[in-house]
Amino acid sequence: MGLTRQQKMMIVVLMIGALLVVLNQTLLSPALPAIMADLNVNATTVQWLTSGYALVEAVVIPLNAYLLGRFSTRKLFVGGIALFALASAVAALAPNFPLLLLGRMLQASATGVVMPMVFTLVLLIFPREHRGAGMGIVSLIISFAPAVGPSLSGVLVDSVGWRFLFVIVAVLSAGLVLFAYKALENFEGFEEVPFDLPSVALMAFGMVSLLYGISVSTSSANIAIPVVLIVIGVVVLAAFTYRQLHMETPVLRVQTLVTRNFRTTVLIVAFLEAALVGSGVVLPIYIQNVLGHSATVTGLSMLPGAVLGAGCSLLAGRLFDRYGVRGLVLGGSSTMALMSVAVVFFGVDTNIIWVAVVYTVLSIGIQFLITPMDTWGMNSLDNSVLQHGNAVYSTFMQVGVAFGTAFIVSLTGLAPHFAPAGASAVEVTNTGTHLAFVGMCVILLGVTATIFIFVRDRKTAGAAGASEGKAGTSVDLAGVPGVDRPWYVADVMNPQAPVLGSDASVRDAIALLRETETSGLPIVDAAGKLCGFISDGDILKYLSKTDGAYIDSFNYFRFVESEDFLERLGDLLDLDVMRIATTRVESIEISAEAEDAFKLLSEKRIKKLPVTSDGRVVGSLSRRNIIAALDVIERYVR
């Protein structure tokens, strides 16, 4: 791939860093029952090791643009790994649960810094023609770590104890610090972004208050306490949202949620992650404390779901490109819903093989949803706000993990109220995990219903008639409009103007521009509503660019580079048309007076206006249409 020895060393460092932080996120699940017994805490408390981790990541991730503008890339990565090593050591030596939780929170802070750095530096190291291979390596690491994490954890917990999990991570991280300090080079040129302390404080305080209120809602002796905490959390987060909407440079640009498809995706994926991670916390407790199996068996039971789920995620992405979103998500959500119902029937005598099969199929169903939903939602955003959409998406995903896990696990605290009188400890635990599985099932059934109602493929509209040069106008040749009433847009527009679907590629746009001999095309969504405009000028503008950008799942980073014309053309043809289209489109209602359209075309110095009726495109009005209409009138009058 043309990489130097130094660059190859950098890639190795980055991959080890990614492996450590991602592995750490999934390593703990089979160890939770052992931690509960050793530190004398219940399931509602121990889940903070997972939900709190996600919560801290959600706060740190939006700060990456600020950190990159302030610190060198080498300092950030080395500092993040050093903090990760220290945090792991704190967790390994923790004599009680609060110190263990502190270690996990510090680990989460480091993860929130390191993972975006891995994506960014890999992108900058690899030349453009080999970036796909570079990101494929990162994806492989991210998929591999969760697959082996539970199994490795189970074996270690049964053989040397749960503390050794943190010892291994601490030692490897300390070694990586030394390696990274020598191997990494600095990359410059990142834009400086201001740090808004009030926004960060509001976000952190609001989410902690809300999360803690949810987690203790089923176990608090005084129900007023969790209610007050939840209300305070909601109010503070509302204040955070209000602040973001009125800031010139917000920490989190929540305005992207106005787009319905993106909003739907964010909510669905947040709930999916909540159910997936929440079940990952409850399932080990059920397998070990109810069915009586070891941590090793727990890890092996979760292994097929992790491995096959990762493979299906990659497959689903390819199928989406070929078949669209609806067929995939309907199949995935139906499978997921069926398996979530099956989980509810787990009991004290359920066979462990059946548990592994159900969990595996459930994981496959969820993974067949997440990748297509990700793409479907991001495709609905204009390219100018993709960076903000990614930040919002990543943050909400972590928030979903935090709150969903807290909610699902908190249901286990209701076990004493629902368990039969005189029930054994195993029966009480089974009642608690059963309630948690019911909560998970309700969430996933709600997700399935939402998908069936709101997630649909967008139809690509082609030419609806002849080109603007060949098609006639709506001028009434017999009555000569304008004699006894004002001219309206409907009188002079082209009602057979071609339009393009919002899910079309630039290749499709070029073909339709050529076929219809026009210079621009309105872009419509599935409902026929105007959402963009693509012109030959937009295409030429892209081909003349000399800078590039990369969007990752954590944040947005921009850098300058050069490439030749043929490479830019190849990249252009396969782009989603909305990536280069204009989204601030001037349009006019069909019922408007023609003089208003003339004024708009003249003042804005544009050649064509989409004509709409209640937001839906019903035609177009170009200068050519107006001249044709004027010619008709002139000949009639003459």
Q: pLDDT for 393-417, tens place per residue? A: 777 877 787 777 778 888 887 888 8
Q: Could you tell me the CATH superfamily of domain 489-637?
A: CBS-domain (3.10.580.10)
Most trustworthy range by pLDDT among 141-150, 386-395, 441-450, 475-484: 441-450
∠ CA(24), CA(29), CA(31), 5° rounding? 100
Around Cβ 309, how many Cβ atoms within 10 Å?
24
- 143 vs 498, higher pLDDT: 498
Q: What is the pTM of this model?
A: 0.63
| DSSP-derived secondary structure for 370-421 | HHHHHHHHHHTS-GGGHHHHHHHHHHHHHHHHHHHHHHHHHGGGGHHHHSPT
Q: How confident is the model at residue 74 (pLDDT cuts 50, 70, 90)?
A: confident
**Assigned token pair, 437:** 């599985």
Each residue's pLDDT tens digit, 512-565: 887 777 778 888 887 778 888 888 777 777 666 444 333 343 333 333 344 455
How many Å apart are CA 163 and CA 100, to the nearest integer? 10
pLDDT for residue 59 is more than 60? yes
Q: How confident is the model at residue 144 (pLDDT cuts 50, 70, 90)?
A: low
Q: Fill in the amino acid letter for 11.
A: I
How many Å apart are CA 602 and CA 624, to the nearest integer? 13
Radius of gyration of the chain (CA): 28
By the 10 Å C-beta count (0-12 exposed, 13-18 middle, 19+ buried), 550 is classed as middle
- If you average pLDDT over residues 56-68, what whole number do you get? 77
1-194 is a CATH 1.10.760.10 domain = no
CATH code reported for the domain at 258-457 = 1.20.1250.20
How many Å apart are CA 618 and CA 316, to the nearest integer? 35
pLDDT at 139: 60
- CA 223, 229, 230, 232 dihedral sign is positive
Q: How confident is the model at residue 444 (pLDDT cuts 50, 70, 90)?
A: very high
pLDDT for residue 194 is more than 90? no
- The span from the first CA to the last CA of the chain, in angstroms, equals 72
Residues paired with 612 in a beta bridge: 589, 617
Q: How confident is the model at residue 235 (pLDDT cuts 50, 70, 90)?
A: very high
pLDDT at 214: 78
pLDDT for residue 470 is more than 50? no
pLDDT at 50: 80
| Mean of all residue pLDDT scores within the chain | 77
Q: How confident is the model at residue 422 (pLDDT cuts 50, 70, 90)?
A: confident
Percent of the chain surpassing pLDDT 70: 80
pLDDT for residue 467 is more than 60? no
DSSP structural state of residue 612? E
Q: At what angle do helices 386-410 and 48-60 cross, to 10 degrees?
A: 160
DSSP structural state of residue 10? H
pLDDT at 179: 86
pLDDT at 49: 85
Q: Is the Cβ–Cβ distance between 350 and 295 less than 8 Å?
A: no
Q: At what angle do helices 260-285 and 352-379 cross, to 10 degrees?
A: 160
Of the listed ranges 301-310, 384-393, 555-564, the one predicted with least confidence? 555-564
Each residue's pLDDT tens digit, 319-333: 776 777 888 889 889
- If you average pLDDT over residues 278-305, what whole number do you get? 85
Quickly tell me which residue has 């991001």 as its tokens. 378
pLDDT for residue 468 is more than 50? no
How many Å apart are CA 218 and CA 408, to the nearest integer? 11
Each residue's pLDDT tens digit, 569-612: 666 777 778 877 887 778 888 878 777 878 777 777 777 888 88
Around Cβ 386, how many Cβ atoms within 10 Å?
18
pLDDT for residue 450 is more than 80? yes
How many Å apart are CA 343 and CA 441, to the nearest integer? 8
